Structure 1
Amino acid sequence: MNLEGRHPSTAQIARFFEWEHLPPHLQTLSRPCGELAEQMIEALPDGPELTAGLRKLLEAKDCFVRAALPPRN
């Protein structure tokens, strides 16, 4: 993702959409959110609404990944 020249808040939150480090079964859940985040960053200007939208997408992605984790005993 090219973040050159982007506002620091956009660049800061974008790093949380990386998915390559996750195990394969979690990558399938995280990757679409990361790809959507990248599309939105490319399509929209920096600003509070982009940051808020990315934050909400990040919250959703985190919920999806947590839902796939095995329960603790």
Structure 2
Amino acid sequence: MDATDRHPSTARIARYFDYEHLPTDLQTVSRLFHDLAQELLDILPDGPELTAGLRRLLEAKDCAVRARLDALREA
């Protein structure tokens, strides 16, 4: 996710939505959050509310990826 032209706090959190480094089974879930984060970055200005929203989206992504990881381990 390229957010180099954004406020430093926005760019810092946006990098955590990258998913290419994950195994394929986890990329499927993580990509959904990446795409939503990218859409938000495309339409919203930098500011504390965007940063807070991205942080909460990141928390949700982490939970979903862990849930997928657990499901794969149980299968």
Same fold (TM over 0.5): yes
Runs of 4+ that moved beyond 6 A: none
1:11-59 deviation per Cα after TM superposition (whole angstroms, max 9, x unaligned): 0001000001111110010001001101101110000100000000000
Structure 1 runs not aligned, ≥5 long: none
Partner Cα distance (1:13, 1:65) in 2: 17
- TM-score of the aligned structures, taking structure 1 as reference length: 0.89
Alignment RMSD, CA only? 1.6
Can you give the 5+ residue segments of structure 2 that lack an aligned partner in the other structure?
none
- The residue that corresponds to 1:43 in the other structure is 43
Q: Which has the higher helix share?
A: 2
Counterpart position of 1:21: 21
Aligned length: 72
Amino acid in structure 1 at the alignment position of 2:21:
H
Over the matched positions of the two proteins, sequence identity in percent amounts to 63
TM-score by length of 2: 0.87
